[in-house]
Structure 1
Amino acid sequence: MRYTEERYISLLTDFGFKRIFGTNPNKDLLIDFLNSLFDGEQVVKNVTFLNSEHVGDVRTDSKAIFDVYCENEKGEKFIVEMQNASQKYFKDRSLYYATFPIREQAKKGEVWNYELKHVYVVALLNYDMTDSAFAQDTINHDIGLLDKQTHKVFNDKLTFKYVEIAKFKKSIEELKTNYDKWIYVLQNLSHLDRQPRYLRTEVFSRLFNQAEIARFSKTELREYEDSLKAYRDMKNSLDNAEEKGIAKGLAKGRAEGKKDKAVEIAKKLLEMDMPIDAIMKATGLSQEEITKL
């Protein structure tokens, strides 16, 4: 059974994201994306992919498996993650992930002065994170270590980039910057049937070429369809849970509205010295609820 009839892969799937951003033949695509995201704050000229699976300490034997893990020509580390669903402790997970590229910089068997290379954690969020610390007028949130009083950078060796791609609402005609184009592609690549003229650059031509499903081997196609099915199953589960939550909320709201109206009526009837039995019949409230009024 085939799960897709689209021309291009979805970058929201595990397979699609890692194929485009996590393989040596396509590292120019990752470099271009990172440079668009950092917008001059950081200029990446080259990347080397590193082992994306890390084992924690012996006591817990916990693991961290990154979507994409690499370093640039200066030895600075980048973790790039696609997160499709809200997770209660996602910020904690991001912080935990950052400890691995920090700890692995320790020099083995020699005196080390603790100087660190910069570590960047880039989290692409395919949902509304709605964190109270985030500015509401942007989807790109830059988190670092600051002095709380002066708001000056205390240490610039650790940076978190949270990008709420689900909140990106620009149409293809409104795309101005390279960053806009990348976020649009992250959201919409699998919905396109051709490369739009707004995306006709050398980098995006490479992207569309690499993302064309017809070019996949049988093995790649099977892996992608497995990944796509897992993504769709996850999204369907989330959508169903959201719909049930909304329906439950509406039902609760209607019930609370009726209760409020009944209480209002009961108060008026009490003022008229109507017997409690009669008020119970008129409002549906219990004797205890009425006597509390």
Structure 2
Amino acid sequence: MQISQKPIYINPFTDFGFKLLFGTEANKDLLIDFLNQLLKEEAGTIIHISYLNKEQKGKNKEARTSVYDIYCENQEGERFIVEIQKAKQDFFMDRMLYYITFPIQEQAKKGEWNYELKAVYSIAILDFTLPTSDKNDQQVVTTGKLYDISRNKIMSNKLTFYYLEMPKFGKEWQECHTHFEKWLYLFKNLNQLHEMPVGLVDRKLKKFLKEAKIANLNNEEYTMYEESLKRYNDLKNSLDTAREEGREEGREEGREEGREEGKKERNIEIARNLKKAGIALEVIISSTGLSKKEIETL
């Protein structure tokens, strides 16, 4: 009987893990390195970043407050929103578009101002694939800008969206030839690694692994990580159970009514958990078999 090994590295898709590795002063060099690899000098080489207030309040008390995972600016005053997204969500693209309006508005200056803006970058690291993705398309990074359709060219470089669909990254460590590919590999496989990858000599990636060691957490950090990991696992388990229940429902047609009722009660509980987690309505419907009206009343 094979005994499974306990993880030695934190899961970066947890809220705690992501913010520890990329959202702290001690590790801002890791974020800088990752952004430089992703942006490929589009924003110029980032030398320094400053973390900004992650909570953005609306213009009045009725307006919604937005809270970013990471919000920072570089030495040129360009802004970066970096988000981790664990599951599909209703109007996810709309939410990212809404988020990016705050770094634009806060650049407005009183008095004389010629409306010149610093560039804003929205970066979302996804633990799922976008609804718009083709099943045969294995491109991990999707980039969006303001585009002139009639002239087939970029209209403005002041607004850029990056979506990293991590499930699409399937390379093994030995197949990763660029620094960015190694970043993607470690991010996707971190909590499944039980030793440092063979041949890893890069100083930044070594630091990333060192900071990610569960054994290096103090008691308070460990408690916070365990709570964050539990929320992540509960969400994943709810999604997996919902998908399995959906498949089982197809196989269970014709079974007695009492068992169907019991299954529906389980689906209702699953749907309630998924709804609390902000999962897309159509995903809940397809996973549980409940109607839109039933889910909206939960």
Range into which the TM-score falls when normalised by the shorter chain: 0.7 to 0.9
Query: Are 2:97 and 1:95 equivalent residues in the alignment?
Result: yes
SS in 1 for 2:143: strand
- Between the aligned partners of 1:7 and 1:192, the Cα distance in structure 2 is 7
SS in 2 for 1:82: strand
CA contact (8 A) 1:67 1:80 kept: yes
The 5-angstrom pairing of residues 5-154 of structure 1 reads 5-42=6-43, 43-107=45-109, 109-131=110-132, 136-154=137-155
**Identical positions, percent:** 44
Alignment-mate amino acid for residue 227 of structure 1: S
Residue 212 of structure 1: aligned partner: 213
Deviation at 1:195, TM superposition (A): 1.3
Deviation at 1:137, TM superposition (A): 4.4
Q: 1:198 to 1:244 in 2, by over 3 A?
A: farther
| Equivalent residues, number | 248
Deviation at 1:130, TM superposition (A): 3.5
Q: 1:176 to 1:16 in 2, by over 3 A?
A: same
Deviation at 1:198, TM superposition (A): 3.8
- Structure exhibiting the larger radius of gyration computed from Cα positions: 1
SS in 2 for 1:188: helix
The 5-angstrom pairing of residues 141-290 of structure 1 reads 141-249=142-250
Residue 274 of structure 1: aligned partner: none
Alignment-mate amino acid for residue 76 of structure 2: K
Q: 1:204 to 1:62 in 2, by over 3 A?
A: same
- Between the aligned partners of 2:223 and 2:138, the Cα distance in structure 1 is 41
Deviation at 1:134, TM superposition (A): 11
Cα deviation code 1:242-292 (max 9, x no counterpart): 22223345667xxxxxxxxxxxxxxxxxxxxxxxxxxxxxxxxxxxxxxxx
SS in 1 for 2:11: coil
SS in 1 for 2:50: strand
Deviation at 1:138, TM superposition (A): 1.1
- Between the aligned partners of 2:251 and 2:129, the Cα distance in structure 1 is 21
- Between the aligned partners of 2:146 and 2:135, the Cα distance in structure 1 is 15
CA contact (8 A) 1:77 1:118 kept: yes
Deviation at 1:59, TM superposition (A): 4.8
Structure 1: 5+ residue stretches without partners: 253-293
Q: 1:132 to 1:174 in 2, by over 3 A?
A: closer
Structure 2: 5+ residue stretches without partners: 254-298
TM-score (norm. length: structure 1): 0.80
- Between the aligned partners of 1:220 and 1:18, the Cα distance in structure 2 is 12
TM-score (norm. length: structure 2): 0.79
Deviation at 1:124, TM superposition (A): 0.8
Residue 264 of structure 1: aligned partner: none
Alignment-mate amino acid for residue 74 of structure 1: E
Cα deviation code 1:29-76 (max 9, x no counterpart): 001111111223232111111111111121523111111100011000
